[in-house]
Amino acid sequence: MKRSLIALLGIATALLLTGCDVFTSTAPGNRWRSVTPGQTEIVVYVAVPTAPADAAFNRAADHGIGVWSSVPNLTLKRTAACQPNTNCIDVFRKPMNGGEVRRQTVPVATQSGVRNYITHVNMWMDSGRWSTASLNNAFCHELGHAIGLDHGRNAGPCKGGKPTSWDLDRANELY
């Protein structure tokens, strides 16, 4: 028991030190849906604050959006601000250790039962200094949570700044 607790604390510490999100607020399996009836492609806007002095943050945001582009029926598009009646992820910066995602969902009755659909996401990123590789991975990771993924068997989403094959398989199942 004591070894298990020590191992668990070690894993939690490693996740915090590497910027992994341990604060995801909803269960896995939630997904976005199209705001246009009958449309199969789901467009989700990613509102990233633009600050010319923070070029690395802006590049990492573009990287994170780009690495999820292979998910069919899901398109992430960068925007300056969320607009009403759109699927949108608001990205914020604040002093913290790593990143955090809070998904807002709504239950919807479907033919196969009730399913929770994501209606909005707030995503916070640490405002401290990151290496390029760490920042790229953190954006990939947090956007993975924002599209509905949870930590998988590899503590993902993302490894080395890219979704793993396991992450992509789960995203393909959702969309």
Indicate the DSSP class of residue 42.
E
Q: CA 90, CA 86: separation in Å to the nearest integer?
A: 12
User: Structure tokens of 74?
Assistant: 């899901």
Indicate the DSSP class of residue 159.
B
**Banded model confidence at residue 152, pLDDT cuts 50, 70, 90:** confident
Mean pLDDT of the chain: 80
- pTM, rounded to two decimals: 0.79
Per-residue model confidence (pLDDT) at position 145: 93
> Quick one: fold of 2-174?
Collagenase (Catalytic Domain) (3.40.390)
User: Structure tokens of 99?
Assistant: 């990143």
Decide if pLDDT at 133 tops 60: yes
Q: CA 142, CA 91: separation in Å to the nearest integer?
A: 10
Q: Residues 20-36: what's their mean pLDDT?
A: 60
The percent of residues in the chain predicted with pLDDT above 70, rounded, is 80
Give the residue with greater pLDDT, 157 vs 46.
Answer: 46
Give 85-119 pLDDT, tens digit per residue: 899 999 988 887 778 899 999 888 888 788 889 99
